[in-house]
Structure 1
Amino acid sequence: MKKFWTLCAALLSVVSVASAQTSMSCCAKPAAGPNATETFAMLASNEDFSGGHDAPLPFRYAGGGEMIEFTTTDGGKSKAFEIKSNTRSDKYLFVIHEWWGLNDYIKQEAARFAKELPGTNVIALDLYDGQVAATADEAGKLMQAVKTARAEAIIKGALLHAGPRAQVASIGWCFGGGWSLQTALLAGKQAVGAVMYYGMPEKDVAKLKTLNTDVLMVFAKQDKWINQEVVTEFEKNMKAAKKGLTVKAYDADHAFANPSNPKYSKAMAEDAHAASVAYLKAHLKLK
């Protein structure tokens, strides 16, 4: 319970800040309050949360893949990093970045998945519209500035880019973990899998009932924010929605799978990655 009240205190301390930000879509729908991804974004104002994220070490991705541009459903444009399958395929993995943005670390992760999931098109989306953070302060501001409507338009545009026959799985970390689940919700019948690393779950059971897939959630037991109470509530809500949920728990802290994080655990990160790949292979029906 101590961790639960720590989370509540952190959220309450930033609600007043978030309510003043016109960029948040909750301000356009005050009666409904912030949704799951907006609630998580509010944590960026918490010094304990932002202080737990050291800036990524310098890194330059030099592998394959290319930046693409597609039309979003709000009439705009968005760019993404894509690695196409060597063979014609309608299988897709959408990769959603952490709060740093679509940086070279995410491109490297996309390339790793493309290699381990042959026959799959991998697209790393950019929910920050080209902006990448170099410091925790910058990352917090970018995460808080994300408009739900714009993020959804980007994801929907990527789904249109993939095509109506596409089978779509998703994976994301932290900020991207929550958006991985939202991607599965937006994909409807095209969704075949969703992996979320320490991301804020959707709490609306009615929405969860529309999921076309089960979910794999990677959970860090020492995480102060996506803590045991959050996970237990998600398990309860998924059960109420009659949807499958597998929780992989590790005795680690938030962002333990990020190699640039001081609390990175190579052994646990590799185990979680192996579990994610096995899940994605099964759900994408890869040989």
Structure 2
Amino acid sequence: MRYPLFGAALMAFSAFAHADIQTQEIPYTAADGTKMVGYYAYDDAIEGQRPGVVVVHEWWGLNDYAKSRARDLAGLGYSALAIDMYGEGKNTEHPKDAMSFMKAALADADAAKARFNAGLDLLKQQQQTDAAKLAAVGYCFGGKVVLDMARQGVPLEGVVSFHGALATETRAAPGIVKARVLVEHGSADSMVSAEDVAALSAEMVKAGADYQFVNLPGAKHGFTNPGADKFQEKGVDVAYNKAADERSWNDMQRFLDETFDSSRP
């Protein structure tokens, strides 16, 4: 098992200890009163606090895939919480419903930020979480959410977008992006235009952000999700790509290692 470089406490942990991933659903409430459900995961073989990572789901909602990514992050030694951006943990496999849920969640930028922050606060409250070391990763819709949180200066050390939507109504102002940013994008993603890619890069440069963009050859939207292919028959241009999935996950591990490494300048 590979662990992040985040301090002496974890370095002292034996590499031969058996990982036992603990999970639980935790109810919480957004600022607007919406009832939310978080899915929390951590490795109880690790003693003490460790960096926390928020996971933001695809446009399908808080489903098994989002939860599996929280468990994967826990297996890397993080305190991981898959948050709920739609309310009541709802999710769907129907594109029209997913589009409706997503539009409603993004209709008010301040409300979306408040929902994210409610989940972030919940992660901070977990005893395993080092609240001074926080990051967020997001998939599809969730990729846009974490990028927007970076654009708005939410206090995170890093954000990672996997096949995320890149367009935004709110451009990052110079100096506001505090988080390091990694974008993992499929070169064959029909849902993101070349103009959106160029605009994001220009925006990040102008904002002075610590920004990395990875273009994954031949990968379509949804390339990290092994269950993506089943949605093709519903007219959604998504597909799993094992090579892109593995490469982007490895990129994320290196990125988080560097981000949380206390010796980083």
Same-fold call, TM cutoff 0.5: yes
* Distance across 1 between alignment mates of 2:152 and 2:121: 11
1:171 aligned to 2:129?
no
- Post-superposition Cα deviations, 1:69-116, rounded to whole Å, max 9, x if no partner, equal 234333444220011353332621000000111111111111011102
Range 155-164 or range 77-86, more displaced:
155-164
Render the CA deviation track for 1:105-153: whole Å, top value 9, x for unaligned: 111111011102x1x2101001011211022222122112224343322
Question: Counterpart of 2:186?
Answer: 220
What are the Cα deviations for residues 15-44 of structure 1, in whole angstroms up to 9, with x where unaligned?
A: xxxxxxxxxxxxxxxxxxxxxxxxxxxxxx
Normalising by structure 2, we get a TM-score of 0.75
1:183 alignment partner in structure 2: 149
Matched, 1:197 2:156: no
Aligned residue runs from structure 1 range 66-145, under 5 A: 66-84=24-42, 86=44, 87-89=47-49, 91-116=51-76, 118=77, 120-129=78-87, 130-145=89-104
Aligned residue identity for 1:151: A
1:259 is matched with 226
Contact 2:172 2:204 in 1 (8 A): no
2:210 to 244, 267, 287: 244
1:283 paired to 2:253: no
Give, in whole Å, the separation in 2 of the partners of 1:209 and 1:228. Answer: 25
Letter in 2 for 1:153: A
Could you say what secondary structure the match of 2:158 adopts? strand
| CA RMSD after TM alignment | 2.4
How many Å separate the matches in 2 of 1:166 and 1:286?
11
- The letter for the 1-side match of 2:80 is V
The answer as to 2:176 corresponding to 1:210 is: yes
Bigger fraction of residues in helix? 1
Look up the equivalent residue of 1:152 and give its one-letter code.
K
When residues 286 and 227 of structure 1 are mapped into structure 2, their CA distance, relative to the original with a 3 A threshold, is: farther
Inter-CA distance 221–193: structure 2 relative to 1 (3 Å threshold): same
Task: Establish whether residue 157 from structure 1 lines up as the match of residue 118 from structure 2.
Answer: yes
CA shift, 1:282, in A, is 1.8
Q: TM-score scaled to structure 1, two decimals? A: 0.70
Would you say how many aligned residue pairs link Structure 1 and Structure 2?
Answer: 222
Of 86-95 and 270-279, more deviation after overlay is shown by 86-95
Q: Judging changes above 3 Å, is the alpha-carbon distance between structure 1 residues 203 and 128 closer, same or farther for their aligned structure 2 residues?
A: closer
Q: Which runs of 5+ in 2 are unaligned?
A: 1-20, 230-238
CA distance in 2, matches of 1:84, 1:150: 28
Give ranges in structure 1 of 5+ residues lacking alignment: 1-62
Over 3 Å counting, the alpha-carbon distance change for 1:151 and 1:91 in structure 2 is same
